[in-house]
Amino acid sequence: MSQTKLVSPEELARQDEYAALLHEYWIARRQEPPRAFVHTYGCQGNEADSERLRGLLARCGFGFCNSAEEADLALFNTCAVREHAEDRVFGNVGRLKGLRQTRGLRIALCGCMVQQAHVAEKLRRSFPFVDLVFGTHALHRLPELLYQMYAGGRRVFEIADTPGEIAEGLPLRRDSAFKAWLPIMYGCDNFCSYCVVPLVRGRERSRAPEVLLEEARGLVAAGYKEITLLGQNVNSYRSGDYDFPRLLRELDAIEGDFWLRFMTSHPKDCSPALLETMAAGRHIARHLHLPVQCGSDRVLAAMNRGYTQAQYLALAALAREYMPDLRMTSDIIVGFPGETYEEFRETLTLVDAVGYASLFTFLYSPREGTRAAAMPDPVPHAEKVRWFQELTALQEAKAAAGCAALPGKILRLLCETPGKRQALAGRSEGSQMVEFDGPTELIGQFVHVRVTKARGWLLDGERILQESPCPQGMGAIKHTP
Ligand code: SF4
């Protein structure tokens, strides 16, 4: 892991000056402060970045709205993980061309997708109505870039591939009042052969533990009920004497009623010390998202994942030894270049053996600049789609069988949203969604629900009054007496 370099206080003060200049700009033009629409694609890391982008926009005087049609500035925070996501961005941006011409909507793009030189070049040449493009390393410079765009009256492109720095102390506008993202590290050193993240997010760098502990204490004091630690490779966190288990232990020691989650973990960094920390935790959710990607040793080696099927299965078994009630989820790529059907069947074997609560499954998507993109890929797309369906059918059957055992059991849920079938929906420590009836004031609160019905993986329940066994972490599922 490279040395973490912080953006200097002088640079952050310079950005504050640009924010002040923008306020003066609106006043000089006798203009109402403009309204921004921020749209986020991709992972939770991007959502966390968008909370900082909104914070910076607010500092520059922007208000917010829920659609590009109402906005003066549309900002798209993009994702580069799959080709499909890139196509959607180009399509959505293309549709705004008319608004740019008729009422001067400003259009900006940032994030992983535009950090790629070929994408920035395409935007420069073929999307002349896009006003501002900036990459992942320039997020904290948004006030300066906006000032150049508005006061300078020109298109601005800033995608320099600088070694990533960390900007602490940026203003934040969180999306939720009870669930918080807490990025603990950025970038990735793993270079999985299919993945573009190390190319667009830079090398791994971790935030200082004292900053993270202070931020987490502030969140708990403010009433947040769930804190999710984020990193492209979260369990390789390292800062001075702190590794990930130590950071997790100290976060877990904070007093309060809250859950701690983390993602995304790499199997090679999932140590017994981490499992032991999870098992002993008071607040750490008994949920482990541990992407396996594939079950074939040959394909895993071609992916540069650094483990075999046997090693992964041993790790899953060890995790369940520490935490028999642990719920595991995973990511799987179907149709990696050169993968055969026999190799794909090893993925089915692994999925059957682990018994995941849910899976995020993807058809392989070639990414320019990665090693896998240059590998021969003879299997037709339609064949890969058939494999994908086979995997989905297996997982759905396994998940449904797991859910069928739940009626009668009591789960502690964090009530998150209105439900589709019942008034409310909440998520358990193990990330099971259950719908139940109750007043909307319960959103953002912990509740206990007895599961009444399972239809496939859809769960219904009824709220019961039960004293919280907080601090929790002793297992989400409790049998009814
Ligand atoms: S661990 Fe691999 S898949 Fe995950 S972000 Fe790093 S390079 Fe990409």
Pocket test for ligand 1, best of 188, 193, 270, 336 (most atoms within 8 A of CB): 188
User: Do the domain assignments include residue 174?
Assistant: no
The answer to whether residue 129 is domain-embedded is yes
Ligand 1 pocket: which of 46, 136, 203, 233 to mutate (most atoms <8 Å of CB)? 233
Residue 284 C-alpha to ligand 1 middle, in angstroms? Answer: 24
Closest CA to 164 of 192, 191, 197, 142: 197
CATH number for position 325: 3.80.30.20
Token pair belonging to 47:
């959502």
Report how far ligand 1's centroid is from the alpha carbon of 304 (Å): 10
Asked whether 233 lines ligand 1 (CB < 6 A), one says yes
List, for residues 331-359, the tens digit of each pLDDT value.
999 999 999 999 999 999 999 999 999 99
CATH number at residue 425: 2.40.50.140
- Closest residue (by CA) to atom 8 of ligand 1? 195
Q: What's the burial of 88, exposed, middle or buried (CB within 10 Å: 0-12/13-18/19+)? A: middle
Ligand 1 near 198 CB (within 6 A): yes
Residues 216 and 345 in one domain: yes
Distance CA 166, CA 208 (A): 10
Asked if residue 210 and residue 264 are part of one domain, the reply reads yes
Same domain, 84 and 212: no
Cα(187) to ligand 1 centroid in Å equals 9
Together in a domain, 279 and 328:
yes
* Distance, CA of 374 to CA of 367 (rounded, Å): 9
pLDDT at 470: 44
Evaluate whether residue 253 is within a structural domain.
Answer: yes
Give the Å distance between the CA of 479 and the centre of ligand 1: 38
pLDDT in the model for residue 472: 41
Measured by CA distance, the residue closest to atom 1 of ligand 1 is 190
Last residue of a domain, one of 352, 368, 393: 393
How far, in Å, from the CA of 233 to the mean position of ligand 1?
Answer: 7
Query: Is residue 287 a part of any domain in this protein?
Result: yes
Do residue 326 and residue 427 come from a single domain? no
Q: Are 143 and 219 in a shared domain?
A: no
CB of 190 shorter than 6 A to ligand 1: yes
Ligand 1, from 189, 191, 232, 292: best to mutate by most atoms within 8 Å of Cβ? 232
- Whether 115 is in a domain gets the answer yes
> Same domain, yes or no, for 143 and 193?
no
Q: Among the atoms of ligand 1, which is closest to the Cα of residue 198?
A: 7
In a domain? residue 190:
yes
CA of 390 from ligand 1 middle (Å) equals: 25
In a domain, 272, yes or no: yes
Same-domain check for residues 131 and 211: no
Q: Which residues of the chain have pLDDT under 70?
A: 1-3, 163, 466-481
Split into its structural domains, the chain has a count of 3
Residue 374 CB contacts under 8 Å (≥ 6 apart), including other chains: none
Q: Which domain holds residue 86?
A: 9-158
Order the strands of the 106-111 sheet from edge to edge: 63-64, 35-40, 73-78, 106-111, 132-134, 156-158
Which residues have C-beta within 8 Å of that of residue 292, sequence separation ≥ 6? 267, 312, 330, 331, 332, 350, 354
341 located within any domain: yes
Residue 467 pLDDT: 57
How far the first Cα of the chain sits from its last, in Å, is 50
119 and 260 co-located in one domain: no
Q: Are residues 138 and 184 in the same domain?
A: no
The reply to whether ligand 1 has any atom less than 6 angstroms from the CB of 370 is no
298, 325: one domain: yes
State the DSSP H helix or E strand holding residue 45, giving kind and residue range, or none if neither. helix 44-59
Q: How far is the centre of ligand 1, averaged over its atoms, from the C-alpha of 196 (Å)?
A: 8
179 CA distance to ligand 1 middle (Å)? 25
Domain boundary among 361, 393, 425: 393
User: From the alpha carbon of 293, which atom of ligand 1 is closest?
Assistant: 3
Structural element, H or E, at residue 103:
helix 97-103
Q: Do 143 and 205 share a domain, yes or no? A: no
